[in-house]
Chains A and B, each alone.
Chain A
Amino acid sequence: MSVAAARRAGGMAGAPLRALAELLVERDGPYARAFENLILALIAVSILSVGMETVGGLPGWMVRALRVEEIVVVAVFSLEYLLRFVAADRKLAFVFSFYGLVDLVAIAPFYLSGLDLRYLRLLRLLRVLRVLKLQRRILEATVAERTRELAERHAALVRAQAQLNAELDVARALQIAILPATFPARPGCDGAARMIPATTMGGDFYDFIELPGGRIGLVMADVSGKGVPAAFFMAVSRTNLRETASHHAAPGACLARTNELLCAQNPIDLFVTVFYCIFDPASGALQYANGGHNPPLLRRADGSVEALSGAGGLVLGAMPDSAYPEHTAQLRPGDRLVLYTDGVVEAFNPIDEPYGLERLIAEVRACDGPAAALVERICQSVTSFAGAAAQSDDITLTVLAWYAQ
């Protein structure tokens, strides 16, 4: 039968056959399972009877019974073949598929021997190949089972991942929410800050702490590591630092005390780099201490840029009894102080070059606008430098501008 003829036959048989195919052989048909079991039973019967026929000298009634059995089996197999053909999206592919051929070979000997061509009786032995039909059933059942298991596991993973992501989003929102939104209002100075969070939860934070006498404590910090542990340690660090700052007038003592607190509640050996300074807007005086953090940049009114160097101490949380040397600097009217984390200088572009300190210094030197303008300028410079490269670390900046009162 040519494919075109087959298609015509399928077309003529039309709706009833297709409806029957939907009931019996489509994967989710209501009687698909029952039909499947019927086919299985007939395969078993048929293989058994082929075996019996090879044994000679069967009584006449049994030969007749086997003949009836063969007609029934072939009728059902033929119906099955027809229905699978009707149900197949790509008829030609079905006919020439391995199991399409097996199905055909399973019934063909009957029709050919029906022509009573004696030598074709040999073909009847081909019915043994019906065992291959069995193999198809087993294979399909196994594949269906595996597919179902995989789908279930996948769905469970997707659900778990979605829940985890939702929780991380909440944690992230909380983490950002504890950063101060505005700089304390003081005559003669202004400040601005910004954090651009990394794709994975990072541990950067900044803080403005209002201190007695109108002074302001400025914090820039970066917790080692990423994810939920870093976020927790960030929250603990920030709380301890804030609490300690209100009791210690000196930045070095404040860091030393915070270090003790962090070492005492640090089961997984995280640590945090902290730059802490106390600024007096009335005089422009700056006291600072550094716990392993990038030294901030001081831009003088004339455009020169220097780092707030001076010996620092160990990162906080790593080892008790650490000392944090204290230093002072005097801001002059028009000076700007730029605090940043390594997410700025270690922002990478798509060809893996770091943004670097030189680029940062160039931006700082080039801008004498208000604090917010310099923050914006640096953020734009860093993000345009990084381009499409994934941001692996938080980018955090604070700028303080002092104009004198």
Chain B
Amino acid sequence: MPRARRGRRAQVNVRLETLGTSTLVVAAGRLDFAAAADFQAQLEALLAGAAAAPGAVIVDCAALDYVSSAGLRVFLLGARAAQRAGRSFAVCALTPAVADVFALSGFGKVIAVHADRAAALAHAAPRPA
């Protein structure tokens, strides 16, 4: 069997989608210490580039296999950056391993967690006045 390293050295890939006024950040890979700085830089660049968009920032974690404590910090920084920009911040579609990390660290209490993209978008949609 080939000793595939299952992308442990690989960085986290980030892709940006815009849905209405919301910015969707699709993250994939392993968010460990080695990848955290890169993910942070990408997230900051995306948020800066999407500064004009007024809506929610949603990180879709469906393809995120693992998050270490250094990785969690990037979510905290992202939430802070979004808050400063006056935007809401949420994560959705957590894999079981990542959901455990959110639950254990208490981050699930301070960052909105949604079951899937649709739920996150529904929650982010501006409510009728």
Contacts and interface: CB of A to CB of B under 8 A. Distances in A.
Interface of A: 222-226, 269-271, 273, 291-295, 312-315, 318-319, 322, 342, 346, 348, 350-352, 392-393
Interface range on chain B (Cβ under 8 Å from partner): 20 to 34
A273 B105 contact: yes
B110 interface: yes
Interface string B59-86: 0000000001110110011001000000
Majority DSSP secondary structure for residues of A touching B: loop
Contacts of B104: 292-295, 312
B8 A271 contact: no
A348 B69 contact: no
B3 A351 contact: yes
B73 A269 contact: yes
Interface of B: 3, 5-6, 8, 32-34, 36, 68-70, 72-73, 76-77, 80, 104-107, 109-110
Given A273-B69, A392-B33, A292 B3 contact: no
Given A226-B33, A312-B104, A352-B6, A271 B73 contact: yes
A314 B3 CA distance: 38
Contacts of A294: 104
A224 B106 CA distance: 14
A226 B32 CA distance: 11
Residue among A271, A322, A342 with max Cβ neighbours from chain B (10 Å): A271
A294 B105 CA distance: 9
B81 to A, nearest CB: 11
A225 B73 contact: yes
B80 A222 contact: no
A270 B106 contact: no
